[in-house]
């Protein structure tokens, strides 16, 4: 389905721009008119991480006139395996600032707008309103639903991408011409059902594959060429090297873009809507959460505890808290872990950041271990506050 160009062309290209974009200009479908549209376009990239890195770099190289970057995080060494817009010297630097510097190095003709802030319900509508197109490089469901809802309410298209281990997905959501993200995923998955990239990992080069597809779709939308991924979900399997696409139809009963929408404004709390952890886990963790420093004090005092690491074996191999026994979360969910827990010791659970251990804690408490606790912040907190010599991941 071809769509009209998203933006009007700029008045002209300078001599320097003609030189720079000559390989675009000699493509009949792009030509002078298409390049002028790119020059006149304003594109916001949500996130300067795995997907945002290749997206920002190729949007800049393509000559998109105004590039917005929104990211509140700082560059960590673990980012460098896939977030290629940052380098070793950028570790500790704000991602938005680091990405902006790389964009300016790639193409000094691009106007870079930095939003060094978290995207929230308080600022998303104002920020989005200044752009023609949104490229979504987020990695959590709460932000994805907020991006979708804001884009639909503002009548703006956005290019979505998702990555996990060896699998990637991409689509274009534009309620005016097709489905929105809620048509594809009406409800977020149950808490803990879908691991994040931080928990499950991602092949670094997969980011380039999906990020470049996002830019390809952005260029098509801005210039009005080709057949955009509106109403189609592109699925990529890097291990099998297979691409396939699935039709996604607009849901007439969609609560946001359907015939009789019930969601007519942003939700008050997208984190609560998506449920970072289940209600059972939140209830179990209430009053039963200790810090990494408190765990260290318990160990130093020789308290009678049984420390359990509920992560996966490959994570345990990277870094582990001394004295911890590995029992993956899945064994708690299927019940097989319970027979491994001693009755005469206080059970202390931990994971990488605290979410998985809270889910396991709910199972343990339900089994009668009333005094069991878990470590808020998990291994990340231990490395930060107890033993910085250990590797983080």
Rounded distance between C-alpha atoms, residue 130 and residue 67, angstroms: 11
Rounded distance between C-alpha atoms, residue 351 and residue 311, angstroms: 5
Distance in angstroms between the alpha carbons of the first and the last residue of the chain: 43
Which residue in this structure is represented by tokens 């318990």? 298
Active site includes 197? yes
Give me the catalytic one of 45, 180, 254, 351: 351
The encoded tokens of residue 132 equal 């023609």
Active site includes 183? no
Give me the catalytic one of 45, 197, 207, 257: 197
- The residues, any chain, with a CB within 8 Å of residue 25's CB and separated by 6 or more, are 18, 31, 32, 35
- The residues, any chain, with a CB within 8 Å of residue 214's CB and separated by 6 or more, are 51, 55, 135, 137, 159, 160, 161, 170
Rounded distance between C-alpha atoms, residue 355 and residue 196, angstroms: 11
Paired sense of beta strands 167-173 and 305-309, if any: unpaired
The encoded tokens of residue 14 equal 């300078």
**Catalytically annotated residues:** 197, 351
């Amino acid at each position: 389905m071809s769509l009209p160009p998203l933006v009007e062309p700029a008045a002209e290209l300078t001599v320097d721009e003609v030189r720079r974009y000559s390989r675009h200009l000699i493509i009949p479908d792009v030509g002078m008119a298409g390049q002028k549209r790119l020059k006149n376009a304003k594109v916001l990239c949500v996130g300067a991480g795995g997907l945002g890195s290749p997206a920002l770099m190729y949007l800049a190289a393509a000559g998109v006139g105004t590039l917005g970057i929104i990211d509140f995080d700082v560059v960590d060494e673990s980012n460098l395996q896939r977030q290629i817009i940052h380098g070793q010297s950028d570790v500790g630097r704000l991602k938005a600032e680091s990405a902006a510097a790389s964009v300016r190095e790639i193409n000094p003709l691009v106007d870079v707008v930095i939003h060094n802030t978290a995207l929230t319900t308080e600022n998303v509508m104002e920020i989005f309103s200044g752009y023609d197109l949104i490229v979504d490089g987020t990695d959590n469901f709460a932000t994805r639903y907020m991006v979708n809802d804001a884009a639909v309410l503002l009548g703006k298209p956005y290019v979505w991408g998702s990555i996990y281990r060896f699998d990637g997905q991409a689509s274009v959501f534009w309620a005016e011409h097709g489905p929105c993200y809620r048509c594809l995923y009406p409800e977020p998955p149950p808490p803990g059902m879908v691991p994040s990239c931080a928990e499950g990992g991602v092949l670094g080069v997969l980011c380039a594959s999906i990020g470049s597809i996002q830019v390809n779709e952005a260029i098509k939308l801005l210039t009005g060429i080709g057949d955009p991924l509106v109403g189609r979900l592109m699925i990529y399997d890097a291990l099998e090297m297979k691409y396939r696409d699935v039709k996604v139809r607009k849901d007439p009963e969609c609560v946001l873009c359907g015939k009789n929408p019930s969601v007519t404004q942003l939700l008050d709390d997208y984190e609560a809507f998506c449920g970072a952890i289940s209600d059972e886990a939140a209830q179990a963790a209430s009053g039963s959460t200790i810090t990494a420093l408190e765990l260290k004090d318990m160990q130093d005092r020789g308290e009678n505890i049984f420390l359990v690491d509920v992560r996966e074996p490959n994570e345990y191999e990277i870094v582990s808290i001394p004295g911890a026994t590995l029992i993956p979360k899945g064994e708690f969910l299927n019940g097989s872990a319970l027979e491994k827990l001693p009755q005469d010791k206080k059970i202390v659970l931990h994971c990488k950041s605290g979410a998985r251990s809270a889910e396991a804690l709910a199972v343990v408490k339900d089994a009668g271990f009333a005094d069991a606790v878990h470590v808020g912040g998990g291994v990340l907190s231990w490395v930060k506050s107890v033993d910085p010599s250990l590797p983080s991941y």
